[in-house]
Chain A
Amino acid sequence: MGDRSLLVELGDDISPAVNQKVQELFSAIDRQRSKGILDLVPSYRSLLMIYDPLCISFDEIKAGIKDIWNNPDQFRLPQPQTVKIPVVYGGEYGPDLELVAQYHNLTPREVIDFHTRPAYRVYMIGFTPGFPYLGEVPDAIATPRRETPRTLVPKGSVGIAQRQTGIYPVDSPGGWQIIGWTPVKLFDPFGKPPSHLVMGDRVQFHAITAQETGQWQT
């Protein structure tokens, strides 16, 4: 991809197996700490490596990847951590909850039950700083994006787009169906790390009331 980045593709679909491979390669390359690698952007099915072409060549990077590939014992990942995220569902906090329920002929309560059931995998962080792409949402509540995106989705909003769910860490435009809101701060530019969630984490949502949000607010 151009003369200063390399896109390593590890599959064609959104699946835990492909994403696991991306995470393994990402971690192994990150541990190599090669001079000249400026940034790594892991995503659902590929790893983007941005490099300084004056420091390291395309061929050297390729050789580094081959080396990792031939030594699969480098693929060690820590046990994923499970992060609990409290959500106030519906009402002003989740203006699209009713719509999602109607779309599937469910009650809002049932949508919440489905949404809080799985431990979602953090497939990637992207779009805006700290935005986690989580999957997979049960088919029973998978809902297409809004036809017209909102120009402003408030920070903390929890949304659904098809079988993905995610949380908006900063105020931004967005087209996902907003079903709830979390008081948890997902992005802090001064935090180490700056993102509350990282690729490979598991996320478990649980419902709280608006009165209970105070204990998470910082």
Chain B
Amino acid sequence: MADLEILEILSPGIFTSIQDLGRYGYGRYGVAPSGALDSYALRIANLLVGNRPDQAGLEAMLLGPAIRALADIVVAVTGGNLQPRRNKQPIEMWRSHFLKKDDILSFGSPSSGFRAYVAVGGGISVPPVMGSRSTNLSSGFGGLQGRTLEKNDILSSENCFQHVKTDRRAFNAAWIPDYLNNWSLRVIWGPQDDHFPAESRDSFLGASYKMSSDSDRTGIRLQGPVIRHKPDMQTSIISEGVISGSVQIPGDGKPIIILGETVTGGYRKIATVISADLPLLGQIKPGDAVRFKAVSLAEAQCALAAVEEKVHKFEASLK
């Protein structure tokens, strides 16, 4: 079926890009996954508008875009509360809304979290690159011409009319995460935790870090107590694969939490954020306090099962 133009970007916001759940299987070619940083929010947004959970949506950061509907469509906004509005009237997050042709979706000043996700019934049609529609911003491919959205961009969709009946779906309020200003991230030690003396590991867990403003989609940089590796070791290690959630300690001793835009690295990794907490990484904002809590693999698996149960129960409730 032919694509239909559905969205016109009136103003792009600070940093709005097209993302799905990421590009996997190309790590051997140095290609990082990219993808929605808060994958939980994107999956729920998609389900709210009748899409598959893995379809492409918009990821907006801090100050969201203003978008004109070019057709009758259904949208849902999830994730950080960037105060979505329809024709200047506030609309609720985590539920689907009908937009008539020429209605305008815009955003106010952010009240919690850092990134909002906009799903549109029918998804956003851009050509998949290596199996994904996610934007790889550092190398300039995927999404819309490999870049963030700009004024006057037009986005298309397939089958958007079939989704209009999903208007007014709502997500279970108890399953909407609270985005605060201080975060406790659960980690599993390693793979190079043994390169750090006991006092460094204690200070890593005991410290309260602050997210630095020079963070971006490649990593969350943290300010706080410096973590020293064992004195007889070099600053860097032989480059190897990293994943999002890897907590790297570079030469200056300030931790960096790797996000989805990096595939290899030459710094030691003291710990890895567990899968259940990865979506939170997209919602931490500069100035927020971050602490780490070490858990076991079994605890990580339980935590992930709990998150997945919410998504699956919601998905089942829609059938």
Give the interface segment out of B19-27, B76-84, B97-105, B279-287.
B19-27
Which residue in chain A gives the minimum CB-CB distance to B271? A2
Contact check, A41 vs B130: say whether CB atoms are below 8 A apart.
no
Q: Which residues of A contact B269 (CB under 8 A)?
A: 1
Q: Which residues of B contact A127 (CB under 8 A)?
A: 30, 239, 263-264
| A53 to B298 Cα, complex, angstroms | 12
Contact check, B263 vs A3: say whether CB atoms are below 8 A apart.
no
Report whether over half of chain B's contact residues are helix, strand or loop; otherwise say mixed: mixed
> Does A195 belong to the interface (CB within 8 Å)?
yes
Report whether over half of chain A's contact residues are helix, strand or loop; otherwise say mixed: loop
Q: Which residues of B contact A4 (CB under 8 A)?
A: 243, 275
Partner of A128, one of B129, B139, B246, B308: B139
Q: Which residues of A contact B246 (CB under 8 A)?
A: 1-2
Give the interface segment out of A71-79, A102-110, A129-137.
A129-137
Which residue in chain A gives the minimum CB-CB distance to B146? A189
**Nearest-Cβ distance from residue B179 to partner chain A, whole angstroms:** 23
| A206 to B143 Cα, complex, angstroms | 37
Among B218-243, those with CB < 8 Å from A are 238-243
**Nearest-Cβ distance from residue A98 to partner chain B, whole angstroms:** 27
> Does A120 belong to the interface (CB within 8 Å)?
no
Residue ranges of A at the interface with B (Cβ–Cβ < 8 Å): 1-5, 7, 13-14, 26, 38-48, 50, 53-54, 58, 124-131, 133, 170, 172, 187, 189-190, 193-195, 198-199
Residue ranges of B at the interface with A (Cβ–Cβ < 8 Å): 24-33, 129-130, 136, 138-142, 187-188, 190-191, 238-243, 245-246, 263-264, 269, 272-275, 297, 300-301, 304, 308
Listed by A's residue number, 22 A-B pairs whose Cβ atoms lie within 8 Å are A2-B190, A3-B188, A3-B274, A4-B275, A5-B243, A38-B24, A38-B25, A39-B24, A39-B26, A39-B27, A41-B28, A44-B239, A46-B241, A48-B27, A58-B297, A126-B239, A126-B264, A187-B30, A187-B139, A189-B136, A189-B142, A194-B26
